[in-house]
Structure 1
Amino acid sequence: MKQFRSGLLLLLVALGLFGYIVLVDRGKQSTEEQLRTEKQIFHFQSQNVTWLRIAASDHSVTLEKKENHWRITSPIRAEADDSAVDRLLTELEFVESERTIPSKELGKVDPLKQWGLAAPSLIVEFRDGKETHGLYIGRKTAVRDLVYAKTAQDSNAPVYLVNSTVADRLDKSVDDLRNRVVFGFDSFFVQRCGVDQGGATPLTVEVARQGTKWQLLKPLTARADATKVDEWLSALTTLRVRKFISDDGAALNQYGLASPSDQIWVDQKGEKPKEERLLIGSSVPGDPNDVYAKKVSDSAVFTLPAATVQQLARGFFASVRDRHVVPSFSVSEVSRFEVDQNGRGIGFTKRSAGWTVDGPGYKGVVDRERVEMFLRSLRSLETKSFVQDVPSDLHSFGLDHPEGKVVLQLVEAGGTNAAPVDLLLGRSDKDGTYVKNSLEPFIYRIASQWLQELPKEAWQWKGLEILQLQPKDVQEVQLSFPSASATIRISSDGKILVNGAEGAIAQQAKVAVDRLSRLRAVRWLGPARPEFGLSKPEATLLIRAGKTTVVHIGGLLPDGGRAAQIEGDSLAFELSAAEFKGLGELASEGQKVASPRRS
């Protein structure tokens, strides 16, 4: 008990000592931090600065901070680049003195004259609250890369030696701190946007947001690609001024801005709804890679990269028009679809357990993934070109009597069926196939290769699983080949006999049983035909697992596989060459095991 009290006492002392160290050290700086703090010329927080002035021999700029944003107030009035100003103030906050010369060490030296501080090469003044501070940069020192600096125009103030690169980074002009962002909208609030193209053939393109989608309103009513519109808006927000030319907004003719070649505009809602409109002028003389531009809301004329502006303005319509042939849908919304070709119809219906098909030669379950793969390919099908927006003659495109069609039945959110969507398949030529959907007037041209996605037969998408058994349920397997046969029996305790024998072959037989339990076809061949050789099979498999399944194996196929058919099923499938070979070898090995017993 005494030892326990002593241990507890030591623990409490240790905890107390640890707490004391933490509390004391929390208020202390490391030696490195302390030295760095002592070398700092100023002690303020950059985010509290509300006024800033930078003056050099050939330029000056004054800025004010209001509502958490910086504005240039002199020599012009313009938006400032908040990030650039913040970086400059952070640089100023942590500017360090490599050496400090107190005023008492100056003697009779007049630092203002001798060290270039009477007429500083650079002045940086700022206001933190009600107090104004300043940094005055003089000439360079004779040795090392330093400059003389003071924080007050007073001969009694100390002189600092500051790294000249720091002074260079503080020397900023209007252009360095000016906001070069052309568009300042938030894409989330944009309701309408577009382009007004001038020239000999003027064109107005306008898109509007409708819920989560975008709709083309001009020059025609059509679907807009929401992804492309968002990409276009994003490109506008990254557009930056290359060079500011003029700030008086006068003499716009010389820049081609009195009658602009193009106008790009964005209309946004929100607390302060507004339109931002950019005017595009002529090319810059001597520099065709740039064009003049101006915002309607601002007097400044500036230049922008010509190629970027050309793509944003002249490429807008072609870019944002939705190229998908079928209006957007979700695969999960499709309850049924039909594919009609050459007068033959195949219908696919979604059931609770998956998809079924009803068509010539087969009615039953089909592979869910294969069906949904087709629906995804239909959803993503895009036109190679827009052929006609207002067709006057469907006959020319083979669409008055289509060669085929795909009919989609969708289920709306409330569970009711929406109007069916038909995709009509018209004439094909060397350039593609003409198609049209039933909801819109437009004629599209698609790549004819897509037609290979259409199912030609009802059984084509049937699942490749031939048998789906549990190996433990298999009781007997009989392999009958022309030159050998084997019978595999599995007892209730899992013991395996091949032609009545045990031994090493039992493991080989177990592998075969496992594979046969989940037998898969290479592909479906369709209804059995005489050339498959299934009326006189070359081999037969019998699998007994509750019920008996017999598989007939016929002739050799061109790719090396074998035609096969489950007894009682009308469809034939291909059995892989490897599967056929493995079963034949097992039958041969079983024959060898049984031979001594028969002798």
Structure 2
Amino acid sequence: MNWRTTLILAMIALGVLAYLRFFEMKQPSTGEAKRQAQNVVNFDRNKISGIVIQNGDEKIEMQRRDNRWRLEAPIKDQADSSLIESLLSDLENWQKDDTISAKEIETDQGKLNEYGVNRPKLRLKLIGQDRPPAILFGKDAALEGKMYVRFENSKETFLAGQSVKKDIDKKSEEFRDRKLTGLITAQVTRVTLKTPAGEMELQKTGDHWDIVKPLRARGDDQKIADLIAQITTARIQRATRRAHAIYSGR
């Protein structure tokens, strides 16, 4: 065997070893593999770009844009990102308590109706790369805090906790971002107040606030900071019909 053949074989061997090492690194550890096997659903939350909830006659659609969530249907508005991130966390940690095999279901077709997963009113669909099938939510089980769920493309049914159901069994209004503004106090450097008595303008320079209109004077930093904090943390209690029309473009 000449040196060229030896070199080629050595390179092939190194390539095989590198591939095997890479493949092993991509595989979950034994503990992680067991956890994933026990999960109701496995997905990468960073690849999820949308969520669709069918709750009876109401279809709720949300999309992620620039790391923020928006309601797209039935109304258009900013969505409560913290609520949606909590839903994704609950999905990641959702565990099976028991499994009723597809074979057992096929033996007794009435079980789908018994578990409420034949044509349920509540469905959840994730949008994005490597997304799982739509999840169908059935009846509550006799065991407290548990319920029946299955995937749209499978008859296999799981007994699982009700946490995800509680996250999504809501009206579209409840997914709206209730904050009046997305600003935080530290971002505000200029304020214009309009009242029946006239207009006042405040300007922040460094760490201090100045009144620049209707006259120039030093502002009360604490009182102005408190006012801005009240505005940036204010939450919307209820949207009017007119607001809904504006959001939907009608």
TMscore range, shorter length: 0.7 to 0.9
Q: CA deviation at 1:49?
A: 0.9
DSSP-derived class of the 1:87 partner: helix
Please say if 1:101 is aligned against 2:100. yes
Q: CA RMSD in A?
A: 2.9
Per the alignment, residue 37 of structure 1 pairs with 36
Unpaired stretches in structure 1, ≥5 consecutive residues: 1-26, 251-297, 301-599
Counterpart of 2:55? Answer: 56
Residue 70 and residue 166 in structure 1: after superposition, are their counterparts in 2 closer, same or farther (change >3 A)? closer
Could you tell me the TM-score, scaled by structure 1's length? 0.34
Counterpart pick for 1:215 among 207, 210, 217? 210
Native 8 Å contact 1:60 1:173 kept in 2: no
Q: Mark the CA change 1:41 to 1:224 in structure 2 (over 3 Å): closer, same or farther.
A: same
Which of 221, 240, 244 is residue 245 of structure 1 equivalent to?
Answer: 240
1:299/1:72 Cα in 2 relative to 1: closer, same or farther (>3 Å)?
closer
Q: How does 1:71-110 map to 2 (within 5 A)?
A: 71-106=70-105, 107-110=107-110
Deviations 1:176-204 (A, max 9, x none): 22111102224444342132113xxx232
Alignment of 1:546-585 (within 5 A): none
Which residue of structure 2 aligns with residue 150 of structure 1? 150
1:178-327 pair list within 5 angstroms? 178-198=176-196, 202-248=197-243
Alpha carbons of 1:165 and 1:28: their partners in 2 closer, same or farther (altered >3 Å)?
closer
Write out per-residue CA displacement over residues 315-339 of structure 1, whole angstroms, 9 at most, x where no aligned residue.
Answer: xxxxxxxxxxxxxxxxxxxxxxxxx
Aligned to 1:320: none
Change (3 A) 1:241 1:52: same
Equivalent residue number for residue 128 of structure 1: 128
Greater share of helix residues, 1 or 2?
2
Which structure has more strand as a fraction of its residues?
1
Q: Report the CA distance shift for 1:170/1:95 in structure 2 as closer, same or farther (over 3 A).
A: farther
C-alpha contact (below 8 Å) 1:54/1:172 kept by paired residues: no
Q: 1:38 to 1:131 in 2, by over 3 A?
A: closer
Alpha-carbon distance, 1:233 to partner: 1.7
Q: For residues 187 and 142 of structure 1, what CA distance do their matches in structure 2 show?
A: 49
CA distance in 1, matches of 2:247, 2:201: 26
User: Alpha carbons of 1:193 and 1:66: their partners in 2 closer, same or farther (altered >3 Å)?
Assistant: same
User: How many Å separate the matches in 2 of 1:126 and 1:173?
Assistant: 18
CA–CA distance in structure 2, aligned partners of residues 42 and 123 of structure 1: 14
Letter in structure 2 aligned against 1:152: E
Give the length in aligned residue pairs.
Answer: 223
Provide the rounded CA distance (Å) in 1 between the counterparts of 2:94 and 2:242: 34
Offset, 1:37: 3.0
Matched residues in 2 for 1:220 and 1:116: separation? 69
Which structure's relative contact order is higher, taking Cα pairs within 8 Å and 6+ residues apart?
2
CA distance, structure 1, for counterparts of residue 187 and residue 33 of structure 2: 49
Q: Tell me the residue number matched to 1:169.
A: 167
Instruction: Go from structure 1 to structure 2 and tell me whether the alpha carbon gap of 1:222 and 1:98 turns closer, same or farther (over 3 Å shift).
Output: same
- Measured in 2, the distance between the counterparts of 1:165 and 1:208 equals 47
Letter in 1 for 2:120: P
Checking the alignment, whether the CA contact within 8 Å between 1:208 and 1:214 is kept in structure 2 is yes
Superposition map of 1:389-428 within 5 A: none
Gaps of 5+ in 2: 1-27
Report the counterpart of residue 551 of structure 1 in structure 2. Answer: none
Amino acid of the structure 1 residue aligned with 2:84: V
Instruction: Report the CA distance between 1:125 and its aligned residue.
Output: 0.6
- State the distance in 1 between where 2:149 and 2:123 align: 10
Question: What code does the residue aligned with 1:228 have?
Answer: K
CA contact (8 A) 2:77 2:247 kept: no
CA contact (8 A) 1:91 1:170 kept: no
Q: 1:37 to 1:189 in 2, by over 3 A?
A: closer
Q: State whether residues 87 and 164 of structure 2, in contact with CA within 8 Å, keep that contact through their aligned partners in structure 1.
A: no
TM-score norm. by structure 2 comes to 0.76
- In 2, the alpha carbon distance for the partners of 1:214 and 1:158 equals 64
How far apart in 2 are the matches of 1:176 and 1:145? 22
Tell me how far 1:59 sits from its aligned partner: 3.5
Distance in 2 (alpha carbons) for counterparts of 1:165 and 1:114: 21
Alignment of 1:492-571 (within 5 A): none
For 1:141-175, what per-residue CA distance to the aligned partner results, in whole angstroms no more than 9, with x for missing partners? Answer: 34554322111154xx3111122344223323322
SS of the residue corresponding to residue 244 of structure 1 reads: coil
Asked whether the equivalents of residues 46 and 86 of structure 1 are also in contact (C-alpha less than 8 Å), the reply is no
Aligned residues of 1:121 and 1:139 also touching (Cα < 8 A): no
